[in-house]
Amino acid sequence: MKNIPLIIIAFLLLISCGKEAKQKPPATAKKPEPVIVEFGFKFNDFNVVQDTVVSGDTFGSLLEKENLGSLKVHEIVEKVKDSFDVRKMRAGKPYTLLRSKDPSKKLQVFVYQPDRTSYYVVDLRDSVITYKKTKPVSLKRRTIACALDGSLSETLERQKVHASLATDISKIYAWSIDFFKLQKGDRFAITFTERYINDTIYDGVENLEASFFEYKGKIIYAFPFKQDTTSLKVDYYDEDGKVLKNMFLKAPLKFVNITSRYAKNRFHPVQHVWKAHKGTDYAAPTGTPIMTTASGVVENTGYTAGNGNFVKVRHNRTYETQYLHMSKILVRRGQRVSQGDVIGRVGSTGLATGPHVCYRFWVNGAQVDALRLKLPNSEPMAVKYKPRFMKEMAPLKRELDSVAKLKLNM
């Protein structure tokens, strides 16, 4: 070692240090904690607890769990009562506790959310301050066009649309489309607006601007329109200004199956004899709401061995309908009902092999097949409003048709 020149020793030491430096893993920089701001507070500055009101919880009981003491809780409750009615707190609603980060974990802020867009803040940091705020809601508009694959709800969900739109659509087209007969591949397009809280949280469908459905090879358009701009009433019309709403709904139930049609002669599944079946059977789970298909007056309710629990409604001098085999009757004789009102629940009372409703229809006292009837429309659009309707409808129709052509090759 003594005979090795110093310059060589220095060189060897330098190489050795270089190897150690390469082998030593680099120090990783600590990632900064993401900043979370909610309800106007920086959550990073607090010990945060998010929970849900359960049955038996009160504002006072929730504060008592925070070791504030009975006198302090009473003082807070008294101070907030003018701006926050704590009696209206409901089970299932979320609340947030913001506590100090020190070992005491002292409650600083209490936040209660009665709905998705509004919230109450009780700030306890200096003095008791209470206020209500509403989160900003924005509307985003879009048009979708697709072919039916499964149920309407399932098809919409695949388009990332809230399933409630399926219910809205079924109501709009209840007089024009028998949703039991929609088939895979039937095409539709819808223009609608959706709500977003804070621009990011999806909050469902706000309204429908235009739509069309392909049904039995025909395209049926629907455009909302107010004849009187000062009125809240909105009706839906096709591209020619003809009202979609008929005097009668297509069926007394939603999204169910026809199991037996009107027939002059069929084999009765209970009595095991051939006889006429003067109604249409719609199968559905027990308890499913049964709607009156048109407005009118309840002519009769009761029970017979064959019909089970039933309701009969007279709509005018010409038309009557009857609903059989109910598990529960929800109206009384002489009661006035409006189209779509729930008058009973599906059951299997009387001569029935399973839960369903038998829907019967009379015209001038004679029973007829409701599915074969060409039923009357409701009040048409007044002529004076048609130019305004056509002007408002035209760009909406062009947009629907354009998107449908692009996505569905129509």
Is 12 domain-assigned? no
Q: Taking a C-beta distance cutoff of 8 angstroms, is the pair 326, 357 a contact?
A: yes
Record the pTM: 0.58
Q: Which residue has the tokens 């591949």?
A: 185
Whether 378 shows a pLDDT value over 70: the answer reads: no
Domain containing residue 296 = 257-372
Tell me: pLDDT of 401 over 90.
yes
Mean pLDDT of 197-223: 90
CB 87 within 8 A of CB 120: no
158 in the same domain as 119: no
Would 23 be classed as within a structural domain?
Answer: no
One domain for residues 238 and 265 = no
Q: Clarify whether residues 78 and 123 are in a common domain.
A: yes
Final residue belonging to a domain, choices 134, 152, 186: 134
Same domain, 127 and 181: no
For the chain, the domain total comes to: 3
pLDDT band for position 273 (cuts 50, 70, 90): very low
Residue 30 lies in a domain: no
Residue 92 pLDDT greater than 60, yes or no: yes
Evaluate whether residue 318 is within a structural domain. Answer: yes
The region that residue 9 occupies, defined by phi over 0 for left and psi between -120 and 50 for alpha, beta otherwise, is alpha
Q: Same domain for 261 and 367? A: yes
Beta bridge partners of 308: 304
Residues 213 and 162 occupy one common structural domain: yes
Give the rounded percent of residues in the chain with a pLDDT score beyond 70.
Answer: 86
Contact 223, 398 (CB under 8 A): no
pLDDT tier, 177 (very low <50, low <70, confident <90, very high otherwise): confident
Does residue 128 contact residue 134 with C-beta atoms inside 8 Å? no
pLDDT tens digits, residue range 318-365? 899 999 999 999 999 999 998 889 999 999 998 888 898 999 999 999
What is the Cα–Cα distance from 7 to 325, expressed in whole angstroms?
Answer: 107
Give yes or no: residues 199 and 236 share one domain: yes
Dist. CA 219–CA 216, nearest whole Å: 8
Query: Using one digit for the tens of pLDDT, what is the confidence trace for 5-64?
Result: 656 655 565 665 555 555 555 556 667 788 888 999 999 999 999 999 999 999 999 999
Mark whether 45 and 86 lie in a shared domain: yes
Classify residue 43 as exposed, middle or buried by CB count within 10 Å of its CB (0-12, 13-18, 19+).
middle
- For residues 294 and 263, which has the higher predicted lDDT (pLDDT)? 294
Give yes or no: residues 129 and 140 share one domain.
no
When the pLDDT of each residue in the chain is averaged and rounded to a whole number, the result is: 85
